[in-house]
Amino acid sequence: MPAPKIDPILLSQDLIRFQSITPDTGDALDLLSDILSELGFTCHKLTFEEEGTDPVPNLYARIGTAAPNLCFAGHTDVVPVGDTHNWTVDPFAAEIKDGQLWGRGAADMKAAIAAFVAAVSRYLNALESPLQGSISFLITGDEEGPAINGTKKVLEWMLEQGQKIDFCLVGEPTNPNELGQMVKIGRRGSLHGLLNIQGIQGHVAYPHMAHNPIPDLVKVLAELNKEPLDNGNAQFQPSNLEIINIDIGNDSHNVIPACAKARFNVRFNNEFTPEALKAELTRRMNRACVPYEINWWLSGDSFLTPAGPLSDAVATAVEKTLGQRPELSTTGGTSDARFIKDMCPVVEFGLVGATMHKIDEHVAVSDVITLSTIYENIIKILLQNPN
CB contact burial 331-349 (16+ within 10 A = b; e otherwise): ebebbbbbbbbebbbbbbb
SS3 content of the chain, % helix, strand, coil (to 5): 30, 25, 45
Marked catalytic residue, from 24, 108, 143, 223: 143
Please report how the helices 111-126 and 365-384 are oriented relative to each other, as an axis angle in degrees rounded to 10: 50
DSSP letters, 325-360, are PPEEE--S---THHHHTTTS-EEE--SB-TTTTSTT
Backbone φ, ψ for residue 10 (5° rounding): -65, -40
Rounded distance, CA 5 to CA 121, Å? 5
Q: Which amino acid is at 100?
A: Q
- Catalytic-residue membership of 77: yes
Facing residues of 45 across strands? Answer: 59
- How far apart are alpha carbons 296 and 139 in whole angstroms? 29
**Spatial distance between the Cα atoms of 247 and 263, rounded to a whole number of angstroms:** 9
Give kind and range of the element (H or E) at residue 280.
helix 274-286
34 is catalytic: no
- Helical pair 27-38 and 8-16, crossing angle rounded to 10 deg: 150
* DSSP sequence for 362-374: EEEHHHHHHHHHH
d(C-alpha 255, C-alpha 203), whole Å: 5
| Residues forming a β-bridge with 48 | 56
Distance CA 138, CA 154 (A): 8
Q: Are 167 and 382 in contact (CB under 8 A)?
A: yes
Rounded to 5 degrees, φ, ψ at 162 are 75, 20
Catalytic residues: 77, 143
